[in-house]
Amino acid sequence: MMNKKIEKLLNDQIEKEYSSSQLYLSMASWSENQGFNGTASFLYAHSDEEREHMLKLVKFINERGGEAIIPAIYKPDVSFDSMELIFKALLEHEVKVTESINNIVGACLEEKDYTTHNFMQWYVSEQLEEEALARNILDKLKLIGNDKGGLYLFDRDMQSSSGADAETA
Protein backbone atom coordinates (compact mmCIF):
# COMPACT_ATOMS: atom_id res chain seq x y z
CA MET A 1 0.00 0.00 0.00
CA MET A 2 1.33 3.39 -0.94
CA ASN A 3 2.08 5.92 1.80
CA LYS A 4 -0.74 8.53 1.64
CA LYS A 5 1.58 11.49 2.28
CA ILE A 6 3.86 10.42 -0.57
CA GLU A 7 0.87 9.67 -2.80
CA LYS A 8 -0.42 13.23 -2.29
CA LEU A 9 3.00 14.73 -3.06
CA LEU A 10 3.28 12.62 -6.21
CA ASN A 11 -0.22 13.65 -7.32
CA ASP A 12 0.78 17.29 -6.77
CA GLN A 13 3.83 16.60 -8.94
CA ILE A 14 1.58 15.17 -11.66
CA GLU A 15 -0.15 18.54 -11.77
CA LYS A 16 3.19 20.39 -11.95
CA GLU A 17 4.43 18.24 -14.82
CA TYR A 18 1.13 18.69 -16.64
CA SER A 19 1.28 22.47 -16.10
CA SER A 20 4.82 22.44 -17.49
CA SER A 21 3.61 20.64 -20.59
CA GLN A 22 0.80 23.14 -21.11
CA LEU A 23 3.09 26.14 -20.51
CA TYR A 24 5.67 24.89 -23.02
CA LEU A 25 2.91 24.12 -25.53
CA SER A 26 1.70 27.72 -25.20
CA MET A 27 5.26 29.01 -25.62
CA ALA A 28 5.69 26.82 -28.71
CA SER A 29 2.51 28.14 -30.27
CA TRP A 30 3.55 31.76 -29.62
CA SER A 31 7.01 31.09 -31.08
CA GLU A 32 5.54 29.52 -34.18
CA ASN A 33 3.22 32.48 -34.69
CA GLN A 34 6.21 34.84 -34.41
CA GLY A 35 8.09 32.95 -37.14
CA PHE A 36 10.47 31.14 -34.77
CA ASN A 37 9.78 27.66 -36.12
CA GLY A 38 12.97 26.15 -34.72
CA THR A 39 12.21 27.38 -31.23
CA ALA A 40 8.63 26.19 -31.65
CA SER A 41 9.87 22.69 -32.55
CA PHE A 42 12.12 22.67 -29.50
CA LEU A 43 9.26 23.78 -27.23
CA TYR A 44 6.74 21.34 -28.75
CA ALA A 45 9.21 18.53 -28.06
CA HIS A 46 9.79 19.88 -24.55
CA SER A 47 6.02 19.95 -23.95
CA ASP A 48 5.77 16.30 -25.02
CA GLU A 49 8.66 15.42 -22.70
CA GLU A 50 6.92 17.03 -19.72
CA ARG A 51 3.76 15.06 -20.51
CA GLU A 52 5.86 11.88 -20.49
CA HIS A 53 7.17 12.87 -17.05
CA MET A 54 3.57 13.20 -15.89
CA LEU A 55 2.59 9.81 -17.34
CA LYS A 56 5.56 8.16 -15.65
CA LEU A 57 4.25 9.43 -12.29
CA VAL A 58 0.67 8.34 -13.05
CA LYS A 59 1.80 4.81 -13.87
CA PHE A 60 4.10 4.62 -10.83
CA ILE A 61 1.36 5.66 -8.40
CA ASN A 62 -1.13 3.21 -9.88
CA GLU A 63 1.39 0.35 -9.95
CA ARG A 64 2.15 0.93 -6.26
CA GLY A 65 -1.51 0.62 -5.30
CA GLY A 66 -2.20 4.33 -5.04
CA GLU A 67 -4.63 6.37 -7.07
CA ALA A 68 -3.23 8.83 -9.59
CA ILE A 69 -5.33 11.96 -9.95
CA ILE A 70 -5.49 13.55 -13.37
CA PRO A 71 -5.56 17.34 -13.04
CA ALA A 72 -7.93 19.78 -14.68
CA ILE A 73 -6.73 21.58 -17.78
CA TYR A 74 -4.36 24.41 -16.94
CA LYS A 75 -4.57 27.52 -19.13
CA PRO A 76 -1.15 29.17 -19.36
CA ASP A 77 -0.30 32.60 -20.72
CA VAL A 78 -0.63 32.70 -24.50
CA SER A 79 1.36 35.84 -25.23
CA PHE A 80 4.98 36.60 -24.48
CA ASP A 81 6.99 39.78 -24.94
CA SER A 82 10.24 38.26 -26.15
CA MET A 83 12.20 35.09 -26.67
CA GLU A 84 14.37 35.94 -23.66
CA LEU A 85 11.29 36.29 -21.43
CA ILE A 86 10.04 32.90 -22.60
CA PHE A 87 13.22 31.21 -21.48
CA LYS A 88 13.40 33.20 -18.24
CA ALA A 89 9.90 31.93 -17.46
CA LEU A 90 10.92 28.42 -18.47
CA LEU A 91 13.93 28.51 -16.12
CA GLU A 92 11.87 29.91 -13.23
CA HIS A 93 9.32 27.17 -13.79
CA GLU A 94 11.98 24.44 -13.86
CA VAL A 95 13.52 25.77 -10.63
CA LYS A 96 10.10 25.45 -8.94
CA VAL A 97 9.72 21.92 -10.29
CA THR A 98 13.18 21.03 -8.94
CA GLU A 99 12.20 22.39 -5.53
CA SER A 100 9.06 20.27 -5.57
CA ILE A 101 10.98 17.13 -6.54
CA ASN A 102 13.52 17.76 -3.80
CA ASN A 103 10.64 18.06 -1.31
CA ILE A 104 9.29 14.69 -2.45
CA VAL A 105 12.73 13.09 -2.10
CA GLY A 106 13.05 14.52 1.42
CA ALA A 107 9.60 13.24 2.36
CA CYS A 108 10.47 9.79 1.00
CA LEU A 109 13.45 9.65 3.34
CA GLU A 110 11.37 10.87 6.30
CA GLU A 111 8.70 8.25 5.59
CA LYS A 112 11.28 5.55 4.82
CA ASP A 113 9.72 5.03 1.39
CA TYR A 114 12.90 3.88 -0.33
CA THR A 115 11.12 2.54 -3.41
CA THR A 116 9.69 5.96 -4.27
CA HIS A 117 12.98 7.58 -3.28
CA ASN A 118 14.75 5.38 -5.81
CA PHE A 119 12.12 6.14 -8.47
CA MET A 120 12.49 9.90 -7.88
CA GLN A 121 16.25 9.85 -8.54
CA TRP A 122 15.51 9.86 -12.27
CA TYR A 123 13.59 13.14 -11.78
CA VAL A 124 16.45 14.63 -9.74
CA SER A 125 18.88 13.95 -12.61
CA GLU A 126 16.39 15.16 -15.20
CA GLN A 127 15.93 18.47 -13.38
CA LEU A 128 19.68 19.09 -13.33
CA GLU A 129 19.65 18.74 -17.11
CA GLU A 130 16.52 20.89 -17.54
CA GLU A 131 17.90 23.78 -15.51
CA ALA A 132 21.32 23.63 -17.17
CA LEU A 133 19.71 23.64 -20.61
CA ALA A 134 17.52 26.64 -19.77
CA ARG A 135 20.49 28.57 -18.36
CA ASN A 136 22.55 27.80 -21.45
CA ILE A 137 19.78 29.02 -23.74
CA LEU A 138 19.38 32.21 -21.68
CA ASP A 139 23.12 32.86 -21.87
CA LYS A 140 22.94 32.65 -25.67
CA LEU A 141 19.94 34.97 -25.80
CA LYS A 142 21.70 37.54 -23.62
CA LEU A 143 24.66 37.49 -26.01
CA ILE A 144 22.37 37.99 -28.99
CA GLY A 145 20.24 40.76 -27.50
CA ASN A 146 17.80 42.09 -30.10
CA ASP A 147 20.03 41.36 -33.10
CA LYS A 148 17.67 39.93 -35.72
CA GLY A 149 20.43 37.99 -37.48
CA GLY A 150 21.47 36.49 -34.15
CA LEU A 151 17.88 35.52 -33.36
CA TYR A 152 17.59 33.89 -36.78
CA LEU A 153 20.70 31.79 -36.13
CA PHE A 154 19.51 31.04 -32.59
CA ASP A 155 16.20 29.78 -33.98
CA ARG A 156 18.03 27.53 -36.45
CA ASP A 157 20.14 26.15 -33.59
CA MET A 158 16.98 25.46 -31.60
CA GLN A 159 15.62 23.50 -34.57
CA SER A 160 18.71 21.29 -34.44
CA SER A 161 18.51 20.83 -30.67
CA SER A 162 14.83 19.87 -30.81
CA GLY A 163 15.70 16.69 -32.64
CA ALA A 164 13.28 17.72 -35.38
CA ASP A 165 14.22 17.77 -39.04
CA ALA A 166 15.43 21.09 -40.36
CA GLU A 167 12.53 21.21 -42.83
CA THR A 168 11.25 24.53 -41.48
CA ALA A 169 14.66 26.24 -41.30
Which residue ranges are tagged as binding site for Fe cation? 17, 50, 53, 94, 127
Binding annotation: 17, 50, 53, 94, 127
42 burial level (CB within 10 Å; 0-12, 13-18, 19+): buried
Q: What is the DSSP string of 107-167?
A: HHHHTT-HHHHHHHHHHHHHHHHHHHHHHHHHHHHHHHTT-HHHHHHHHHHHHHHTT--GG
Give the residue from 23, 14, 74 showing the smallest Cα distance to 46: 23
Cα–Cα distance, 44 to 50 (Å, whole number): 10
What φ, ψ does residue 14 adopt, rounded to 5°?
-55, -45
CA distances from 79 to 31, 84, 119, 121 (A): 9, 13, 36, 34
